Amino acid sequence: MIKVNEKIAIDHGLKKDEYKRICELLKRNPNITELGIFSAMWNEHCSYKSSKKHLKKLNTKGKKVIQGPGENAGVIDIGDDDAIVFKIESHNHPSFIEPYQGAATGVGGILRDVFTMGARPIANLNSIHFGSPSNKKTKSLLRGVVQGIGGYGNCIGVPTIAGQTSFDESYNGNILVNAMTLGLVKKDKIFYSKAAGLNKPVIYVGSKTGRDGIHGASMASAKFDDKIEEKKPTVQVGDPFTEKLLLEACLELMRDDSIIAIQDMGAAGLTSSSVEMASKGKLGIELHLDKVPCREENMSPYEIMLSESQERMLIVLENGKENKAKEIFDKWNLDFSVIGKTTNSKNIELYFNKDKVANIPIDLLSEEAPEYDRKWKKSKLPQKIKFKKKDFKNLKITEVLKKIISSPNVCSKEWIWEQYDHTVMGDTIQKPGGDAGVVRVHGTEKAIAATVDSSASYCYAHPLSGGKQIVCETWRNLISVGAEPIAITNCLNFGNPEKSENMGEFVECVEGLNEASKYLDFPVVSGNVSFYNETKDKGIKPTPAIGGVGLIKNYKDMITMDLKETGNIILVVGKTEGHLDQSIFAKEILNEKKGPPPEINLFNEKNNGETVLKLIKDKFIMSAHDVSLGGIMTGIAKMCIKGKKGVKFYKFKGLIDKFEYFFSEDQGRYIVEVKKENFEKVKKILEKNSNHYDLIGEVIGDNISINNEPTLSVDKLTEFNKNWLNKYMVN
């Protein structure tokens, strides 16, 4: 047995004072297996030791919230005894080291979080972020991640319905891969991870345990350096076909009352699953590790407890149900082994070949895990850039539009999503490329809309404003497809929390997203924090990814962004102030990266969103799209591309410059298409609800016509929009 000392503890990612505290709590030195367990449960990834003080402030309750944070995933009520289970999680570090398996196992892990709760997965989404296109690693990382996401999701038979991809040099040394899954369940068949009862059998099911993924959770809480290749053994290896068998076997077992508690073996594997189940039930747990099915010879207790081999579950069963459960797992050709029992010891007690190899009070791993109040630095709102008329001299709107529509962060991401199966299961009614993906609730008229968004530039410029903005963006995307927003999940990707600037970004982003979440009644029901996203002391821009879910009561009322009919008129709902700071226009055209993000007026966000939703329900809106990156002109261009129709803009009479009007990124705005005969009715509703609106043009044949400028064909525009990523990935 290895003799544990301070150096070995530090090699496990623990701090000196944390190791000292462990020895004090145990009243002895831990052995190597116990040290491994502490290092897993006390690391940032599992304990949230730097973030939980701030996460406790989040708005997590709402009329439709069945389960908030603290379980495998959040759960919301969608009526008719139906519920949606959903969550987003990061798999950043593994995906940078080994992009295919890192991304694939990220998808596999989030799928298990959802079906662990009794829900059949119905949709996947992802938010993926890569370095500068000119960085030599970007192309291969992008290719590997996309193949990994598609390889796992396509094989297991769950559609990928939406996502987001961005490029920024801050991700050169640390890409982000955030995976989200939604599942459908009956409200009376939701399963939880809280163990209950004494001497109840603890069952291991799924794949065999191997040495892959050992220290995966610890690696996810570490910074990268030049020795990154050495971390490859900590990346898990996934098998979607086994996961499909595990999914079906678990759902079959869940049909009766056999299961007391169930937990997937995700980060920290058997360690976290057993400790979390016992901790929630305020029980002890006894495990016999020689009964764990292993695929490699001579695995030690330490390796068995810390392995993150995929496609495994831990279940607490009712007594006497073991044989029936085993029959189910045998039928699906999966391992099934009774490896222990619940006890009243309130300890985790591990045996291997009859020897007791670990004995730790559960509370020391959960309740006594460190909670830090890190120092943090408040961000100042940057000074506004004073753009002048001469900055826009010699610019033509159509030429600017061509450049923006083909820029890496605005261009079509079809090359990515066409590699995902988005129609499997037969219920996808809005595919990727719109404001949100939409799936019908099978056999009903209801549909679920889901979207995922983030905005690192805004958050980097001013974290508080950026945090608010990204929640509002998610809200607008759901409304734009006709869905009533219900709740969100968040994946908070940040740099090193031990640096006060990074911790300040985290604290203020959380404060901003919480403020917007409360005001919009858009609660946070699940999520994940990913810190230490940095290489050689250079961290990423703060990137909170927000996944939103909403309900469309009748799927026939769903709205898409493609322009529908020649002669219809186009309105912008919401006021345009001309905010260009931090916009794509400022960066791509004027090469200006400074300035504050756009202001967020939560009253206007709510008022404009609710009015647009009412207009959709009253059947007045033919197509809709929220105004985001690239402003009004970019938004309309995307509607033209989708609908293969053009737009004739009315003569511009704005009080601000036309470039400020068409390319500013002021928040809270929607572009909507309305029939001419309905305009007066729509106008009356907008004026009654005090919604500012601009009548800006009408749908025409197949060109974009702007004042005195040459027309731009929609075919040409489509070419500019689609070509950049295709050419980049081929060349």
> Do residues 467 and 509 make contact, with C-beta atoms less than 8 angstroms apart?
yes
pLDDT over 80 at 222, yes or no? no
Which amino acid is present at 429?
I
> Do residues 454 and 164 make contact, with C-beta atoms less than 8 angstroms apart?
yes
The Cα–Cα gap between 269 and 262 comes to 13
Q: Any alpha helices (H) in 42-170, and if so which ranges?
A: 44-47, 52-55, 92-97, 99-115, 138-156
**Active site annotation includes 442:** no
pLDDT over 50 at 148, yes or no? yes
The Cα–Cα gap between 522 and 546 comes to 11
Average pLDDT over residues 606-613: 98
- Cα 197 to chain center, whole Å? 35
Q: Under 8 Å CB-to-CB from 603, ≥6 apart: which residues? A: none
Residue in the block written with tokens 């997203």: 513
Q: Which tokens hold the place of 562?
A: 């493609």
Q: What is the pLDDT of residues 314-324, one digit of tens each?
A: 999 999 999 99
Q: What is the pLDDT of residues 165-184, one digit of tens each?
A: 999 999 999 999 999 999 99
> Do residues 68 and 390 make contact, with C-beta atoms less than 8 angstroms apart?
no
Average pLDDT over residues 327-348: 97
Burial class for 645, CB neighbours closer than 10 Å (0-12, 13-18, 19+): buried
Q: Are strands 120-130 and 176-186 parallel, antiparallel or unpaired?
A: antiparallel
DSSP classification of residue 361: E
SS3 category, 167: strand
pLDDT of 234: 60
pLDDT over 60 at 224, yes or no? no
Closest CA to 542 of 577, 490, 605, 586: 490
> Do residues 517 and 58 make contact, with C-beta atoms less than 8 angstroms apart?
yes
Quote the CATH superfamily of domain 559-731: PurM-like C-terminal domain (3.90.650.10)
pLDDT of 161: 98
pLDDT of 710: 84
The Cα–Cα gap between 633 and 636 comes to 5
pLDDT of 219: 46
**Of 12, 91, 215, 579, catalytic:** 91
The Cα–Cα gap between 226 and 224 comes to 7
Q: What is the pLDDT of residues 500-515, one digit of tens each?
A: 999 999 999 999 999 9
For residue 318, the tally of other CB atoms under 10 A from its CB is 16
Q: What is the pLDDT of residues 691-714, one digit of tens each?
A: 999 999 999 999 999 987 889 999
Average pLDDT over residues 71-78: 97
**Of 45, 54, 129, 462, catalytic:** 45
DSSP classification of residue 232: G
Cα–Cα distances in angstroms (integers) from residue 621 to residues 263, 323, 574, in the given order: 45, 57, 15
The Cα–Cα gap between 49 and 72 comes to 18
For residue 321, the tally of other CB atoms under 10 A from its CB is 19
Sheet-wide strand order for 447-453: 428-430, 437-440, 447-453, 543-552, 484-493, 524-530
How would you label 55-77 residue by residue, b for 16+ Cβ within 10 Å and e otherwise? beebbbebebbbbbbebbbbbbb
pLDDT of 731: 77
Half-sphere exposure of 403 (CA within 13 A, CB side): 15
**Active site annotation includes 91:** yes
SS3 category, 262: strand
pTM listed for this prediction: 0.95
pLDDT of 1: 59
Average pLDDT over residues 591-601: 96
- What Rg value do the Cα atoms of the chain yield, rounded? 26
pLDDT averaged over the chain?
94
Specify whether the backbone of 295 is left (phi greater than 0), alpha (psi in -120 to 50) or beta.
alpha
Backbone torsions φ then ψ of 147, nearest 5 degrees: -65, -35
pLDDT-derived band at 655 (thresholds 50, 70, 90) equals confident
pLDDT over 50 at 221, yes or no? no
Q: What is the pLDDT of residues 117-127, one digit of tens each?
A: 999 999 999 99
Q: What is the pLDDT of residues 409-464, one digit of tens each?
A: 999 999 999 999 999 999 999 999 999 999 999 999 999 999 999 999 999 999 99
pLDDT of 391: 87
Average pLDDT over residues 512-523: 98
pLDDT of 225: 54
Q: What is the pLDDT of residues 245-258, one digit of tens each?
A: 999 999 999 999 99
pLDDT of 388: 87
pLDDT of 227: 53
pLDDT over 70 at 215, yes or no? no
Residue in the block written with tokens 């929630």: 280
The Cα–Cα gap between 414 and 539 comes to 29
Average pLDDT over residues 64-70: 97
Q: Under 8 Å CB-to-CB from 670, ≥6 apart: which residues? A: 476, 479, 480, 572, 573, 574, 608, 609, 612, 624, 625, 626, 627
Share of the chain above pLDDT 70, in %: 97
pLDDT of 216: 53
Q: What is the pLDDT of residues 265-315, one digit of tens each?
A: 988 899 999 999 999 999 999 999 999 999 999 999 999 999 999 999 999
pLDDT over 50 at 518, yes or no? yes
Average pLDDT over residues 558-575: 98
DSSP classification of residue 188: G
> Do residues 69 and 58 make contact, with C-beta atoms less than 8 angstroms apart?
yes
pLDDT-derived band at 390 (thresholds 50, 70, 90) equals confident
pLDDT over 50 at 239, yes or no? yes
